[in-house]
Amino acid sequence: MSDNIPYEMQMEIMKKLPAKSLIQFRSVCKAWKSLIDSPDFITQYNGQHTNPQHLFLTYCDCEDKYVSIADDHTFPHHKVPLTFPQWLLDYDYDLIGCSHGLLCLSYYEDQTRIAIIWNILIRKAIAVLVPNVAGGEVYKNVLGFGVCRETTDPKIVKITPIRSQSAMESVTWHAEVFTLSTGTWRSPYSGNLPRSSIEFDSYCDQVVTIDGSIYWLAADRADVDRGFRFDYTIISFDFTREEFKEVSLPDSLAHQRYKDILSVLKLKESLVVLERVNDLGYDVWMMEDGVSKLFTKLFTINVSTHCAKVKGFRKSGEPIISFSFSIYDNRNKVVYEPYSKHNDNVVIDNIFASYYLIPYMETLLLLNQPDLTVHNQVETLKFEDDWLLEPSFSYGFNGDSFPEDDYFMDYYGM
């Protein structure tokens, strides 16, 4: 840019450019690098700029593979191999969430749970030690990841179920929030927590982050004659207000008998609930403005085999489905056009054990952070004599299973 163009105008022009171009422009001159790397520019850019959507796909083809697929007119042919964060290469991991172009994954090293926040575009990652030990024991917790809409500060929320020895049936939830700007854990702004009857699932298809809020598909335990039952509901956490809320599902969804009938995904920046109505079909329900029980049925996805699973949605709204005749067979990823009701555009074929398919936008977040930084300012949970903390999840910790493997084994009764 000419020196005759005012600095403020240069900044406004750069805000309209794709993130990938800005990364390249940092090499042009020191002034541009200083501008693009500045916290103010990164915050303003990510707060108002919408980059093209990509699809992050992990799968196994003799060895683990990681690719980014451009979700544009070239789809599905523009695939770029990715370098996975080195921390995760030797461990089983699970997906915590994706927000504003950042992926958050976690793994266990010995008894320590570690969360990794990763910017795929700029190949930067940071590690966050997660508090998970109290009274000398590793305890169960549920993690969520998102970015504050106002400050673009990445955050991790951790919720822990605590039972009292004097009231074993009662659960109290304890919440903590990690903010990248401070590098520490603290209590959330709001003191409201999920009800004691709520139980969370940690599978990746039971949680999704949309526009600075995370949504869990949770179970609400209710006592009935001679036992209890579970009704399903949505628990949300707003990363700006740091507040939990509950969104009730329509009765037809809330009263499903089996948990694997329902899953949550993102469709065009909206929350959708997938209901498996039979072996060959899914109904897609969209939440309307966060209003309890106000969900609209958009369409039905018809599939040709019971071993089919909706993995996500393109930016156009087309579902991407994994097909196989057995959970041990190779799988095809296809795009399903819901209105013409046909499958088209094989993305990747002959892949085994597809793990994740995550839509994301390219971002500048983490650009001004040192790569491979470890945030280990862990506040130890004050352990009360009366508390009983649930043991940690087994998957990922012992290396024996993967979240999606458990899902298929459970669903098909294997």
Summarize the confidence of residues 231-251 as an average pLDDT: 92
Instruction: Kindly report, residue by residue over 214-237, the tens digit of the pLDDT.
Output: 999 998 887 777 777 888 999 999
Summarize the confidence of residues 84-90 as an average pLDDT: 82
| pLDDT value at residue 414 | 31
Summarize the confidence of residues 75-91 as an average pLDDT: 83
| pLDDT value at residue 255 | 87
CA distances 102 to 16, 93, 362, Å, are 20, 16, 8
| pLDDT value at residue 209 | 92
Instruction: Kindly report, residue by residue over 197-216, the tens digit of the pLDDT.
Output: 888 876 656 889 998 899 99
| pLDDT value at residue 349 | 45
Nearest CA among 119, 88, 92 for reference residue 103: 119
| pLDDT value at residue 302 | 82
Task: Evaluate whether 94 touches 395 at the Cβ level (below 8 Å).
Answer: yes
Strands 243-248 and 94-99: unpaired
| Angle of helix 39-48 versus helix 30-37 axis, rounded to 10 | 60
State which of 12-21, 70-79, 238-247, 257-266 shows the largest mean pLDDT: 238-247
Specify the pTM. Answer: 0.82
| pLDDT value at residue 230 | 83
Instruction: Kindly report, residue by residue over 25-56, the tens digit of the pLDDT.
Output: 888 888 888 888 888 888 888 755 667 889 88
The structure tokens 């070239």 sit at: 74
- The answer to whether the bond into 76 is cis (omega within 30° of 0) is yes
